[in-house]
Structure 1
Amino acid sequence: MLKYNNTSEIEPLKKTLGQQRAVEAMEIGLSIDNPAYNIYVAGDAGTGKGTYVLETLGKNAKNKNTHKDWCYVYNFVDQREPIIIGLKRGLGREFKNDIEKLIENLLDEIKDAFESEDFELAKNQLIEDYEIEKEELLKRIKKYGEEKGFKLKSSKVGIVFVPMDEEQEESEPSEIEFYKSKRELESMAIQLIYKIKDLEEAAKKEVIRLEDEIAKLVLEPHIEILTEKYKDYPKVIEYLKKIEIDILEYIYLFYMEEDELKEKYDKEHFIRYRVNLFVDNGAEEYKDKAPVVVETNPTPSNLFGKAEYDYYNGSIKTDFTKIMPGSVHKANGGCLVIYMDQILRYATSWDMLKRVIKSKKISVETQTCIKPEHMAVDFKVVLIGSNYIYNLLYKYDNEFAKYFKIFVDFDNIMDKTEENEYGVAQFVSYQCDKNNLKHFTYDAVQEIVKYSTRLAGDKYKLSTEFNKIMEILIEADAYSKLRDNKYVDREDVKKAISQRRKRLSKIEDKMEESIKKGFTLIETEGSKVGVINGLSVLNVGEYSFGKPSRITVTTSHGNKGIVNIEREVDMSGSIHSKGVMILGGYLAENFAQKFPLSLNAYICFEQNYGGVDGDSASGAELYALISSLSEVPLKQNIAVTGSINQKGDIQVVGGINEKVEGFYSLCNKRGLENDYGVIIPKNNKRNLVLNDEVNEAIEAGKFKIYEIERVEEAIEILTDKPFDEVKKLAEYKLFSFSEIQNTKNK
C-alpha cells in the first residue's frame, strides 16, 4: 500500500469499492428506458448496497425534467369520477392558485356587478316594463267588465268579477244575459292569468339573460386569460369550459350575502371549484432532478394512495379533494425504491405493483364510491433484498422475471489487491471526515485491512461488509479518545476488535468453563481407540466461535451398517446425515471389495444437546471409525476438521479460523506442552487468518497446523503408523465380522 502517515493525508473514497460487477449492472439498468427493465439489488447486509443505490439514483436523477405535477379536479359530468390533469413541473401549484384566485375574484366582482347602478337600472326597467304591460292588460279587462256591468276584484283564489249593481242579478229578463257575461269574463280572467304568468316568465328570463350578460362580462376575461395561459393542456381548457358553464348556472350563489348563503352551499358547492394538487414537484429540491422515493413501509395505501373521508350522520363522506397520493404517484417520472423484505409482508402491495408496471397506469384504490381517473406512470422500480428472496421470486413468481430483468449482485468479498487495500484506507479517511472521527495511522489501517481479511475468511480477499468495519472505526476512535491520542493507532484498533469479541463471548466462556471443570469431557492427552476431537462452529447472533466436540465410534458384527445416533433421535441435520452416509461409500470401496460388508457402527457426538449439522466432521468420524475397527488408538492432542468424499479426498470446510482458535484456546489453558495441533484440509490454508496469539504460538512451534489432502495422511498423523498397516487391521476386523454374520445366517 502507498505509504502515508495517517488517513488525513489521503483523498477520501468517492466510489463504490469492490463491486464493479454490480456497478456495471446498475448503470445498464438505469440507461434502458423500458418498463420491463426494473432493477433488483441483492447482497448481504452491510455491503453498502442501500447507500450505493440512493447515491447512484440521486446522481442519475440530475438534469432530468420529465416528471410532472398532477392535479385532481371536479368532474362536472360525473362527480364520482374525478379528473386527473398532468402539468409541467411547478405549474401545478400555479394552476391551483389560479383557480382559487378566480373564484375569489368572481365572488367580489360579481357581487359588485350585481350591486351596481347600471344593473339595478336595467333590471328595474325590465320589471317596470313587465308591470306596465301587466297593468295594461288589467285595465283592458277591467274596462270591458265594467261595460258588461262587472267590476274586477282580487281574491285568495285569483281574479274574480262581481256585479256592479247587486239588483241586476235579481232582474229576471236579464238573468240569462248576466250569467253569459259572467262566464265570458271568467274565461277572460283565466286567460289573463296565463298571460300574466307568461309575462312573469318572460320577465324572469330577461332578468336571467341580463344576469348572464353581466356575469359573462365579468367571467369571460378571467377564463380567456387562463385559457391562453394553459393553451397547451387540452384537459385544462376543457375543465375551464365546464367551470364557466357551472358558474353561470349557479351565478346567484356568487352575489348572495354571506348570511343568506346556506351552509350547504358554503361548505359543499364551492368545493367543486377547488384543485387537489395531488403530486407537487415544484419544490426547489426537484428542480432539474427527478424524484427518488424510498418507501420503507409499503402498505397498499402508502404505495398506491387513498381517499380520506369523514363520518357524517352515520355515513362515510368524501370528495376529490381528499384523495391522497402514494409513493408510486410521487415517484412518477423518477425512481421508486422498496425493500423486498418489507413489501412481501403485504401480498396485495406486491400484486398491485406488478399490475402498475404492466399497465403503466395507476389509480387510487378507495373504500368509497369515488373512482379517480387513472394516472399514466413512467418510473423505474428498484428493489433491495437478499439473494435468497431473489431466487425464490425467480422460481415461484412467473411475473417477476418479466418486470425485473436487471440483477445487481453485491459481493461480500473483493480481491486483496494494493488498489483495494488503498481503497479501504480511503474509506477510513471518508468516514473520519463524515463522522468526525480521529484519523487513523498507517499501522492502524493495516490492522483494519487484516480485520477485513479475517471477515472475508480468505488471505487473498477483503470483506465488503463495510458496516462491520465501520463499527470497529467508531469503537477504535473511542479508545483513542480515552488515551487522549491525536490519531487512532494499531493498539486502539486491536483493542476495539478484542473488546468487541469479549462483549459477545459469554456463551463461549460458559462452555470453556464447563470443559475446565470437567462437566464436558474433552481429553487432550494420550491416545484412545474410537475417540477423536472434532471441531465445530457455534453462532450466537453476529458472534461465532469454535468448539471442540468429542466424537466416539463403537463397532461390532451385524448388518445395521453405520448408525448415526444423532439422526436416530432427530438431532442430525440433512447435511450431517449425508456426510455420515458417505462413510459407507468410502468403506465399501476400500474395505469391502473381497467380502461383504457386515458391521454395526455407532457414531455419536458426545454431550451434544442442541443438534448437529454440516459435513465438516465427516473426516473425524471416519478416522474414529477406522480406529475402532483397527483398534489402533488416535492421539487426543490433535483435533480434526474437514469433510471427505467417497474416494477419500479431504474437502474444504467453513469457519476454519474459529475452529483452530477454539481448540488452541482450550490447549492454551491446559498448557502448550503436549505438541497440540489441528488437522485441516490443505485447500483451507488460504482461509487461515488467525489472531496474533495463535500465529505466535505456531511460529514458536507450540501449536501445529497439519494440512492434508487424503484420508491416509490424517490416519498416519493421528496414529504414527503407516496407513496400510492400520487398514489391514481394520480389514481383518471387518472380515471377522463378515464370517460371524455368515455363520449366523447359515
Structure 2
Amino acid sequence: MADIAPLHATRLRASCNPEQFSFDTTATLDDHPGDLGQDRAMEALRFGLAIGHADYHVFVLGESGSGKHATTFKLLRERADSEPVPPDLCYLHNFDEPLHPRLLTLPAGRGAALRADMQTFIRELGPAIEAALGSDPHTERIEALQGAHKTREDSALRELGQQCAEQGISLLQTPDGFVFSPSREGEVLTPEAFDALPEAERTAIEAQVAEWSDRLTDLLNEFPGWRKALREALVRAEHEALSPALAHLMREMRERHADLPEVLAFFDIVVKDVLDFAVEGIVIDEDEEEADKDDSSRFGRYQVKLLVDHAASTGAPIVFENNPGYGNLIGRVEHVVQQGAQVSHFNLIRAGALHRANGGYLVVDAERLLTQPFAWEGLKRTLRANEILIEPPAEAQGWSGTLTLEPQAVPCALKVVMIGDRELYYTLMEHDPDFAKLFKVAADFDDDLPRTPENEQQYARLLAMLGRNAKLLPLDRN
C-alpha cells in the first residue's frame, strides 16, 4: 500500500496572486453588472421577457446567494425604462347595475385629473341645483302649472255641478267623495222629503242620479291623465331650469376631456342622473334624512375611483409583492358598517399587485406565494383568463352567499416573474400541470463558475460593488 503523503494547509484553498491584479484597492474598480457567470440564465431571462405571448411567464431558480434577485431586477429595469407607461385604471358607478361597477381606462395621468374635476363638480352641484330650482322665474312657473291644473279640475267639477243643478240634482263633496242628491229651489232634499215624493218621481230622480254618477265617473277617470300631464310639465320645467346650470358646470370639464369619448359619455350619464335625481328628490317631497346629507354622500355615485394612478410613472411598472396574499394580489372590495349592516360601494374597491403591475412586470417569491391560502389558484386563474377579476376567496371557490360588488374585470397584460429554488421549481413541474403551461421559461442561475484569471478579475469588480453598496471600506489587492 502506497504511503499517503501529508497535505500542506496552504493547498486546502486556492489563492490569488496579487500581482495579477492591476489595482491597488477596489476603490478604483467599476461596478460589476452582477451577472457574473450567469450567461445562460441571462439569455433565458431575456428570452422570456421578450416574448409577448400570454403563457410565457418566467421562473427564476437558483440557490441563495447566486444573485438571482439583483440580476432579475436589473434586467427588468433596463427593459421597463424603454417601454410605454400603461393607462390609469378607474372604476365608475354603474347606474344600470349598481353592483357591477364599470371599468374606465385612461391615458396615464388623466385619471387623477378626471377625479379632481368630478370632486369639484360634486362640491358645486348642490348649490347650483338649489339656485336653479329656487329662482323666482322657476318658482313662478311651477306655481302657474300647479295653479292651472287645479283650476282645470275645479272648473270641470263646477261645470258638471252646474249642469246637473239645472235638472234638480246637486253635486256634493263629502269626506268619502262626491255624491249626488235631489234638490228643490237650491235646497237639498232630506231623506224624509225624498221618501214623500211620488214613486214615479223618485224613480225618475234615481235614474238621473245614476246618469250623472256615470258622467262623474268618466270625468274622474280623466283626472289621472291630467295629473300625468302636470307631472310631465313639471319635469320639463325642472329639466329646463337645471340644464343650463349643469351645462355651465361641465363646460370646462368637457373641453379638457374632449379627446376621450368614454369620459364624455360618462358626463352625459351623470347629467341625466342629476336631472332624474332632481325630479325625484326635489320636486317630490324629499326625505329629511336625505336632505341633511352633505353633497359628498348625496352625489357620491358621481365620483371617480382611481384604482391605479400612473401620473408619476416612467416606463412600464415593476412591482415586487413581498406579501403575496390573495387580496394583495387580486385586489379586494372593502365594506363599512351602516346601521348594523355591512355595505359597500365602488369607492371601496382596492387594487392588488396585479393591477399595479398591469402593463409591466410582477415579481413574486414562489415560496411565499404558495404558503398563502388561495393565492396561487387566484394567480393561475388570472393568467389563464387574461383578466383580473376582483372577488373574495369565498366567491371564487363558490361557497359564499354574501352579496357584494362584482367590479368589471380588468384586461390583464403583464409578465409574471417567480423567484424560487430548484426543489420548488421541479416540485411544481411534477405536481401542477398548470404551472408548466403558464411558466414555460426557466432561468437557472448557476451556483459556481470556472476559476480563470478573467473570472477572478470580474469577481474583484463584483466584490467592489458589494462593498460600496454595503458602505464598507475598499479592499486591498493583497
Give TM-score, length-normalised by structure 2.
Answer: 0.81
- 2:8 is matched with none
Pick one of 96, 99, 104 that aligns with 2:118: 99
Over 3 Å counting, the alpha-carbon distance change for 1:350 and 1:216 in structure 2 is same
Per-residue deviation, 1:386: 1.0
Q: Residue 436 and residue 160 in structure 1: after superposition, are their counterparts in 2 closer, same or farther (change >3 A)?
A: same
CA 1:190–1:383 in structure 2 vs 1: closer, same or farther (change >3 Å)? same
Q: Are residues 1:274 and 2:315 paired?
A: no
Equivalent residue letter for 1:393:
L
Match of 1:307 in 2: 333
Matched position secondary structure for 2:138: helix
Match of 2:398 in 1: none
| In 2, Cα distance between equivalents of 1:338 and 1:68 | 23
One-letter amino acid matched to 1:304: I
Offset, 1:335: 0.4
Cα distance in 2 for partners of 1:219, 1:258 equals 23
1:362 alignment partner in structure 2: 388
Q: Which amino acid aligns with 1:202?
A: A
Match for residue 75 of structure 2? 56
- Residues in 2 aligned to 1:201 and 1:401: alpha-carbon distance in whole angstroms: 66
CA distance in 2, matches of 1:81, 1:127: 40
In the alignment, structure 1 residue 337 sits paired with structure 2 residue 349 = no
Q: Which residue of 2 aligns with 1:216?
A: 243
RMSD value over aligned CA atoms? 3.2
Distance 1:205 1:260, change over 3 A: farther
Distance 2:146 2:362 in 1: 65
Contact 1:73 1:83 in 2 (8 A): yes
1:84 to 103, 110, 133: 103
Work out whether residues 90 and 305 of structure 2, in 8 Å CA contact, stay in contact via their aligned partners in 1: yes
The 1-side partners of 2:99 and 2:327 are apart by 20
CA distance change for structure 1 residues 56 and 167 in 2, over 3 Å: closer, same or farther?
closer
% identical equivalent positions: 27
Q: CA separation in 2, counterparts of 1:264 and 1:104?
A: 13
Q: Deviations over 1:572-606 (max 9, x none)?
A: xxxxxxxxxxxxxxxxxxxxxxxxxxxxxxxxxxx
The answer (yes or no) to whether the contact 1:149–1:165 under 8 Å persists in 2 is no
State the match for 2:3 in structure 1: none
3-state SS of the aligned residue for 2:84?
Answer: coil
Q: For 1:30-45, what aligned pairs fall within 5 Å after superposition?
A: 30-45=49-64
Q: Partners of 1:292 and 1:105 in 2: how far apart?
A: 39
Give the structure 1 partner of residue 153 of structure 2: 134
1:318 aligns with 344
Tell me how far 1:265 sits from its aligned partner.
Answer: 10
| Residues 154 and 265 of structure 1, relative CA distance in 2, 3 Å threshold | farther
Deviation (angstroms), 1:43: 1.5
Deviation sequence 1:355-408 (CA, Å, 0-9, x none): 322221120122443322221111111111112222222333323233223222
Task: Please list, as runs of the form range in 1=range in 2, the aligned pairs for 1:569-580 lying within 5 A after superposition.
Answer: none
Distance 1:436 1:139, change over 3 A: same
Aligned-pair CA distance for 1:39: 1.4
In the other structure, the counterpart of 1:204 is 231
Where do 5+ consecutive residues of structure 2 fail to align? 1-19, 396-401
Q: Deviations over 1:316-354 (max 9, x none)?
A: 432332222211121100101011111222463223323
* Conserved? CA contact 1:111–1:254, under 8 Å: no
Shift of 1:112: 1.2
AA aligned opposite 2:174: S
CA distance in 1, matches of 2:153, 2:438: 78
Q: 1:353 to 1:195 in 2, by over 3 A?
A: closer
Could you say which residue in structure 2 is the equivalent of 1:155? 174
How far, CA to CA, are the matches of 2:286 and 2:231 in structure 1?
21
C-alpha displacement at 1:260, in angstroms? Answer: 5.8
Task: Report the alpha carbon displacement of residue 204 of structure 1 after superposing the two structures with TM.
Answer: 2.1
Once the two structures are TM-superposed, the CA of residue 311 in structure 1 deviates from its matched residue by 4.5
* Cα distance in structure 1, aligned partners of 2:463 and 2:280: 70
CA shift, 1:289, in A, is 1.9
Q: Which amino acid aligns with 2:72?
A: V
Shift of residue 90, structure 1, vs aligned partner: 1.4
Instruction: Please say if 1:3 is aligned against 2:22.
Output: yes
Larger Rg: 1
Alignment of 1:576-725 (within 5 A): none
In structure 1, give the amino acid aligned to 2:221: Y
Code of the aligned partner of 2:306: L
Question: Where do residues 281-300 of structure 1 align in structure 2 (5 Å cutoff)?
Answer: 281-282=310-311, 284=312, 286=313, 288-300=314-326
Deviation string 1:666-687 (CA, Å, 9 cap, x unpaired) is xxxxxxxxxxxxxxxxxxxxxx
Which of the pair has the greater relative contact order for Cα pairs under 8 Å at 6+ separation? 2
Say yes or no: does 1:172 pair with 2:197.
yes
**Cα distance in 1 between the residues matched to 2:123 and 2:154:** 42
Aligned to 1:144: 163
Task: Tell me how far 1:303 sits from its aligned partner.
Answer: 1.2
Gaps of 5+ in 1: 444-746
Are 2:64 and 1:71 equivalent residues in the alignment?
A: no
Post-superposition Cα deviations, 1:522-549, rounded to whole Å, max 9, x if no partner, equal xxxxxxxxxxxxxxxxxxxxxxxxxxxx
- Look up the SS of the partner of 1:141 in the other structure: helix
**More deviation in 214-223 or 42-51?**
214-223
SS of 1:60 mapped into structure 2: helix
